[in-house]
Amino acid sequence: MSVVLEARNIVRDYHVAGSLFSKGRTVHAVKGVSFTVDKGKTLAIVGESGCGKSTLARILTLIDPATSGDLFIQGKKVDIAKGDLTKDLRREVQIVFQNPYGSLNPRQKIGDVLGAPLVIHGNVPADERRDRAMAMLKKVGLGEEHYNRYPHMFSGGQRQRIAIARALMLNPSLLVLDEPVSALDLSVQAQVLNLLADLQDEFNLTYVFISHDLSVVRYIADEVMVMYFGEAVEYGTRDEVFSDPKHDYTKTLFAATPRADPASIKARLARKRAA
């Protein structure tokens, strides 16, 4: 099995500039994180806000360079600070952002949204762009009639489908999903998760799935990494992490997740009556 993504000791520091009254300081957003993801698998990264998971997503998507550490994509070492970022590499890695209301240009028709990556990457003629966009719309569960519409005419779940379609236009091998379902309702969330599973099977995609919702992670992930203040405190297969959490923070996280089964409701009501 081939390794699509490997990170070795990734570090990212942000320097906060000082002023007349305060000294500058350094924020260590990601402190030496290492992992590998095999082809066709899903790595879930879990953690609370401010733990560095989105910073890591930006590094993996080649938006920001890492301060130190090595990143390998398809076995090739990549350092965008040294200008390694080629168009071919850019096609390999795509991202879907959390908020589908913010990540689509309100003045761009859906057809243009989907065609834009093809315009940037190579000379695809207009009618072929159109055909490929139409085909992709059907793949993500939308229809040809949506081609000429604007983003405001779609619901949140449909917009997230469009964002996924856009990310897939260039046939990437790795898709980074930064909280793709946290802004969606439960029933819509189920549809989008099903879609992601179908697409993974069809295109043999590799996912890095960032989330703070443990029930979603348990459903979709093959491997799980828990981050806490920039460090990976737990890393293992889904079953290892969920059945036998080692780190205190992971245990706290599990304990804090609300449980929706009759047994725990009974226990709570009994506690309440006793009080």
Q: Which of residues 221-260 bind other proteins (CB under 8 A)?
A: 252-253, 255-260
Rule CB under 8 A: say whether 204 interacts with other proteins.
no
Tokens of 86: 């080629």
Rule CB under 8 A: say whether 130 interacts with other proteins.
no
Rule CB under 8 A: say whether 264 interacts with other proteins.
yes
- SS3 call for 196: helix
Rule CB under 8 A: say whether 274 interacts with other proteins.
no
Rule CB under 8 A: say whether 169 interacts with other proteins.
no
- Within 10 Å of residue 58's Cβ, how many Cβ atoms? 18
What is the smallest separation between the CB atom of 178 and other proteins, expressed in angstroms?
Answer: 16
Among 163, 199, 216, 225, binds other proteins (CB under 8 A): 216
Rule CB under 8 A: say whether 194 interacts with other proteins.
yes
**Crossing angle of helices 126-139 and 156-168, rounded to 10°:** 130
Tell me the C-alpha distance between 178 and 159, whole Å. Answer: 15
Tokens of 201: 């099977």
Of 17 and 186, nearer to other proteins (C-beta) is 186
Tell me the C-alpha distance between 136 and 134, whole Å. Answer: 5
- SS3 call for 160: helix
User: What is the binding site for other proteins (CB under 8 A)?
Assistant: 48-49, 156, 185-191, 193-194, 197, 212-216, 218-220, 252-253, 255-262, 264-266, 268-269, 272, 275
